[in-house]
Amino acid sequence: MVTQTGSWEALAVLVSATLFAAAGAGWTCLVRSWCLQDGTCVAMNGSALFPTFQCSFANKVPLMSDLLFQDTASMSSNLAGLTRGMCGVGERLTLSELTGRSTCMLLRPYPDALDQEVMEPSASTDHERACGAWLNGGVALQPSLVQTVEYLAFDDTAERAAAVRSAEAAQYAGSRLSGTNPGKLRTACQRAVLGGSGALRAAGQLAYEYLVEVAAIEGVADETTALKSLGVLVGHYCDAPILFGWNLKVNGLRTSVRRGRSFDPYAMASALKIVGASTTLQAQAEVSNKHVNGYADSSPEATTEQIKQVLRAATQRPAEDDHIAGVFDLDLYQAELDGYVHLLVNGALADAKAYLHGLAAMCAFSLESLVPAPGDAATPDASPASRWRTRMQRELPAAASLGALKAPPNHSPLFEVASEDILNASTVTLSQLVAGEAGEACLELTRMLFPDETDELHHQIVISPRLYDRMDWMVEVARVGVTHVLRNDATIRGALTDPDAVALLIDNVRMRIPGAPRGSWGGATRPIPVASFDSADGVFVMAAKQARSIFLDRQGTLVYDGDHACEAHSPYTALTANAFIWPAMSCSFYLLGMSARPFADGAYDDASLASRAGYIFAHEFSHAVLGFKDPYNLTTIDGLLSDFPCSSSSTRDEAFADILGVLGILQTGLVNSSELCLHVSQSWVSTHAHIHRSSFHAPPACSRIECV
């Protein structure tokens, strides 16, 4: 999705061979043309399988390919053939660091990224010349089983991410390597696990007592202190009757107030029981929670001033700073907060305190749930608090860490992301975090609570200093190429209402790489927040302190002091294969999932780097047109894309970004058009399995359009 303000789009790609001849002539949406011409597929618009694809295709080539290739003389008598073994086209038998077993992996050649092995030089179409051997190298699966597009470029994304995480985990493993806060938390966690369920419960109780203390719950004496206490808990990513996040606005990141959580009956009581609270308090918290829920929808609305009091405590910002947060977005209604305020006004003070105790206990319970004791798997926690967490995880978006969402399962490599995802990522709460597998829980806890440090480690593993320098150069080369076309190409200029303004915007777009060194060209500028740990804290107090420091950094520093949207974080974890731009915010993200071969490598020759990562940079820059209202000269652009049958505005946006992006890369002079076509074909080719017929039909990559 792309609109003028505050929203953004996931990278999508199309390429046209005809573009190289004359921009705009002969565009066809191949998804339509080959499907319809051949009668091999039906239009997938709005189908159950591809609800978000307007004209997409799917095909499946299994990794394990047919054995015929092994008998060819050329394959069996050279190194390539001998090391390929039983693997498919373009693959080699390799020892997996993860499993310790040999496995087939894509070779991903360098310094020339063009993979000769997947090509079919004698073929008649562009896409077959670029990728014919790979496309023909598989056997068809049962059509009924084939539901996903397989991309040559993204075939091994998941394995690559797993390898990165494995290398990252080793960097702060063991108590003797616990010099950093992530290492300290992980070590404290491992100590508690070794101590067994009793130690974990004691650590959870400490976290509860810590939250009660920092939120000054016992000191609550009136409405003001009750709202303040609530704010401190919200500021620990605790689940609460009101939540704060942020939204992208033209003038920056702005606070968004969202409806909070309601708690099921007995959830609070069971959490309080686990942390050793008295039965009296348990009962009182239940009564209060019932009151809050009962009056959520039938009480006067909380005032803006009351909401601001909670916000100030959550962010540690004084009232004088209210104006910086701006006129914040209010969700439709804050029903649960209304219920809480009703409790403050109409209940006894002790009732409000009991409710706050319940919130703190739920918060500590959420932390404790992230580290199951050995043997817990045999006796699943069936407490109401646990059931409530399970429900939250079912109903809310899956969170990867504080402030970041998990990429959807089986996602297309270039999935679409809406501005709603930014909100959802910024309002992740502890209940949304899911414990890691047995033996991995402490590691996963560390990743979930230290998103900045984890991104930094992933960046170091994925992007070598040499590659990082070359990406910097390539970003600038692509920027100059695209802006030159905008300022000089008559056809492109004629298609836009104000090409010079677009060029000026691109001059100022920041390209953000997750985990990049702070202060470097692709990084945020402010330092990573560091919480003050004490060796006596115990794992869950450390976790609560860390959550607090992240919240203050995001909801405080970022929203109040951040001078650029690129100071924010990717709403999806950094290893996701995606790139996107917030056009009106002059900020583009290029994620780590796109920062390795076949898209980027320090050893790539200039043509390969320009045609792959560079092409994506240029495509994203080109979307800067969407930072303007009515960016297109409609008559002219429709003429430019006259043969482009996917007529929605989003496909027009992608088509234009590809035209401009390709022209921008050609303008750099680093690669010629035929070579660029081959590179882009190999980067973006995917396979297609027909739903109704089992034959293969691959899209001609150089003239293929994927409308996302």
Closest CB to Zn ion among residues 651, 687: 651
Helices then strands, counting H and E runs in the chain, come out as 28, 13
CB of 617 to Zn ion, least distance (A): 12
For residues 117-156, which are near Zn ion according to CB under 5 A? none
Least distance from C-beta 13 to Zn ion, angstroms?
A: 7
Q: Which is nearer to Zn ion, 13 or 702 (CB)?
A: 13
Q: Of 371 and 657, which has the nearer Cβ to Zn ion?
A: 657
Q: Which of 617, 664, 659 shows the shortest CA–CA distance to 473?
A: 617
Tokens of 481: 């190429």
Task: Choose the binding region for Zn ion from 197-205, 512-520, 548-556, 653-661 (rule: CB under 5 A).
Answer: 653-661
Q: Which amino acid is at 525?
A: T
Rounded to a whole number of angstroms, the distance between the first and last alpha carbons of the chain is 9
Stretch that binds Zn ion, among 104-112, 336-344, 553-561, 652-660 (CB under 5 A): 652-660
Helix, strand or coil, per DSSP, at residue 113: coil
Decide whether 220 or 662 has the Cβ nearer to Zn ion: 662
Asked if residue 1 lies in contact with residue 581, where contact means CB atoms within 8 angstroms, the answer is: no
Q: What is the DSSP letter of 559?
A: I
- Min dist. Cβ of residue 627 to Zn ion (A): 14
**Cα gap 432→362, rounded to integer Å:** 13
455 vs 654, beta carbon nearer Zn ion? 654
Q: Which stretch binds Zn ion (CB under 5 A): 400-408, 453-461, 496-504, 655-663?
A: 655-663
Beta carbon nearer to Zn ion, 9 or 168: 9
Which of 625, 597, 624 has the alpha carbon at shortest distance from 613? 597
Q: Which is nearer to Zn ion, 453 or 654 (CB)?
A: 654
Write down the H helix ranges in 318-418: 322-325, 335-346, 349-369, 384-395
**Residue 414 CB, nearest approach to Zn ion (Å):** 8
- Indicate the residue among 12 and 296 with the shorter CB distance to Zn ion: 12
Rounded Cα distance, 608 and 601, in Å: 9
Nearer to Zn ion, 12 or 516 (CB): 12
Stretch that binds Zn ion, among 225-233, 300-308, 544-552, 649-657 (CB under 5 A): 649-657
Residue 693 token pair: 């017929």
Tell me the window of 18-26, 109-117, 225-233, 654-662 that interacts with Zn ion (CB under 5 A): 654-662
Window contacting Zn ion (CB under 5 A); options: 18-26, 413-421, 656-664, 683-691:
656-664
Nearest distance, CB of residue 620 and Zn ion, angstroms:
7
Least Å distance, CB 7 to Zn ion, is 13
Give every CB contact of residue 223 below 8 A, 6+ residues apart in sequence: 306, 341, 344, 345
- Say which DSSP state 347 is in: S
Using CB under 5 A as the criterion, what x/- string covers residues 414-453 for binding Zn ion? ----------------------------------------
Which segment (4-12, 81-89, 365-373, 424-432) binds Zn ion by CB under 5 A? 4-12
117 CB-near residues (< 8 Å, 6+ apart): 80, 89, 90, 107, 133
Give dist(CA 362, CA 367) in Å, integer: 9
Spatial CA neighbour of 16 closest among 707, 511, 705, 706: 705
CB of 556 to Zn ion, least distance (A): 33
Q: How far is the CB of 521 from Zn ion (least distance, A)?
A: 22
Nearer to Zn ion among residue 624 and residue 657 (C-beta): 657
Q: Nearest approach, Cβ of 685 to Zn ion (angstroms)? A: 18
Three-state DSSP class for residue 124: coil
- Whether 48 and 42 have beta carbons less than 8 Å apart is answered as no
What is each CA distance from 310 to 223, 317, 335, in whole angstroms?
11, 10, 15
Question: Whole-angstrom Cα distance, residue 301 to residue 341?
Answer: 9
Please choose, out of 27-35, 313-321, 363-371, 650-658, the segment that lies near Zn ion by the rule CB under 5 A: 650-658
CA nearest 653: which of 614, 625, 683? 625
Q: How far is the CB of 681 from Zn ion (least distance, A)?
A: 18
Q: Whose Cβ is closer to Zn ion: residue 11's or residue 55's?
A: 11
Binding residue count for Zn ion, defined by CB under 5 A: 4
Q: Is residue 12 near Zn ion by the rule CB under 5 A?
A: yes
Using the minimum distance from each CB to Zn ion, give the nearer residue, 11 or 539. Answer: 11
CA atoms within 13 A on the CB side of 274: 32
The region of 117-125, 126-134, 550-558, 648-656 touching Zn ion under the rule CB under 5 A is 648-656
**Quick check: 547 binds Zn ion (CB under 5 A)?**
no
- On whether the CB atoms of residues 628 and 36 are closer than 8 A, the answer is no
Question: Please, what is the minimum distance in Å from the beta carbon of residue 643 to Zn ion?
Answer: 20
> 10 Å Cβ neighbour count for 488?
12
Sign of CA dihedral 658, 663, 669, 672: positive
Q: Closer CB to Zn ion, residue 11 or residue 119? A: 11
Least distance between Zn ion and beta carbon 621 (Å): 10
Comparison of 546 and 578: residue with beta carbon closer to Zn ion: 578
Q: C-beta of 652: minimal distance to Zn ion in Å?
A: 11
Give the range of 79-87, 155-163, 646-654, 678-686 binding Zn ion by CB under 5 A.
646-654
In whole angstroms, give the CA distance from residue 432 to residue 364: 14
What is the distance between the alpha carbons of residues 9 and 656, in angstroms, rounded to a whole number? 14
For 635, list phi and psi in degrees, rounded to 5.
-60, -45
Q: Minimum Å distance from CB 377 to Zn ion?
A: 44
Interaction site with Zn ion (CB under 5 A): 11-12, 654, 657
